[in-house]
């Protein structure tokens, strides 16, 4: 069984600064790890993923890092914008259970 | 891109009645769909995996007789909350995976259920 943990329930950053969201997992058997973004009263939407054979994937302001030895991922958003304020979930491609999520607030 | 649609987006019902929520994959076929419930303070809980043409697989602690799931076609799964009670009030979200898109889940817009 996979267990995904997002140990920071919330994060607040100033607009323009970097946001770093973290995710830890227990089971290394996955092909991709994915990040989703969720606004209130909406379903989550896919944000960015990383292959298990990579250690970094970058897409515009979003970069995800994978540290397989530590079983740890981090999502970096830079520069952060107020519109990034949302709840962020991480999940592997082979397990539909999500971590508790991290609520990001970007202050103007 | 792949689209998943839920209906209704919100529903209010009286205690004791049953409510059906539909989840449709609009431009792809989904042999498997997933139902989630969002609890206060953000956590998204997987309730069950809906399998086309067979019984749903429920997560531990989820009452299968309370939350009936039917996946009669490759584009439609339904969740019926039977004999609803106020504690069933929640935000229910479905998702599906387009196998042509690597690993990504596509989520519906969610359905807000309020049981009076």
Beta pairing partners, B97: B105
Q: What is the mean pLDDT of each run of 10 residues along chain B (116 residues)?
A: 89 96 92 89 87 90 95 92 96 86 82 96
CA nearest to A65, candidates A107, A18, A98: A18
Superfamily of A4-107 according to CATH: Immunoglobulins (2.60.40.10)
pLDDT tens for residues A26-82?
988 888 999 999 998 899 999 999 999 999 999 999 999 999 999 999 999 999 999
Break chain A into its structural domains and give their ranges.
4-107
Of B33, B24, B30, B31, nearest in space to B4 by CA: B24
CA distance A19 to B12: 38
CA-based torsion, A106, B4, B8, B12: positive or negative: negative
- Which helix (H) or strand (E) covers residue A91, if one does? strand A86-92
Q: Which of B41, B91, B104 sits opposite A49 (nearest CB)?
A: B104
Model pLDDT, residue B96: 92
- Mutation for B interface: A46, A96, A101, most B CBs within 10 A: A96
Cβ neighbours of B103 in A, within 8 Å: 31-32, 34, 49, 93
Selecting from B4, B42, B107 the residue whose C-beta is nearest the C-beta of A103 gives B42
Q: What is the largest CA-CA distance in chain B?
A: 42
Separation CA A23–CA B10 (nearest Å): 32
What pLDDT is recorded for position A76? 98
A38 part of contact set with chain B, CB < 8 Å = yes
pLDDT of residue B102: 61
Least CB–CB distance from B44: residue in A9, A49, A89: A89
Q: What is the 3-state secondary structure (H, E, C) of A1-65?
A: CCCEECCCCEEEEECCCCEEEEEEECCCCCCEEEEEEECCCCCCEEEEEEECCCCEEEECCEEEE
A36 inside 8 A of chain B by CB: yes
């Amino acid at each position: 069984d996979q267990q995904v943990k997002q140990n920071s329930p919330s994060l607040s950053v100033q607009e323009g600064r970097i946001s770093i969201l973290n995710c830890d997992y227990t089971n290394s058997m996955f092909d991709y790890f994915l990040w989703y973004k969720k606004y209130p009263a909406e379903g989550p939407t896919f944000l960015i993923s990383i292959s298990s054979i990579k250690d970094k994937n970058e897409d515009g302001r979003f970069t995800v890092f994978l540290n397989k030895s530590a079983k740890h991922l981090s999502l970096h958003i830079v520069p952060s914008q107020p519109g990034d304020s949302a709840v962020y979930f991480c999940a592997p491609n082979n397990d539909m259970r999500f971590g508790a999520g991290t609520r990001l607030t970007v202050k103007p | 891109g792949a689209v998943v649609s839920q209906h209704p987006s919100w529903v209010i019902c009286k205690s004791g009645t049953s409510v059906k929520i539909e989840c449709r994959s609009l431009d792809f076929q989904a042999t498997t769909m997933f139902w989630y419930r969002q609890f206060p303070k953000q956590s998204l809980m997987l309730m069950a995996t809906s399998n086309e043409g067979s019984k749903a697989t429920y997560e531990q602690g989820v009452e299968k007789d309370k939350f009936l799931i039917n996946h009669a076609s490759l584009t439609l799964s339904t969740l019926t909350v039977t004999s609803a009670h106020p504690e069933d009030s929640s935000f229910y979200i479905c998702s599906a995976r387009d196998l042509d898109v690597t690993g990504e889940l596509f989520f519906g817009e969610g359905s807000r259920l309020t049981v009076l």
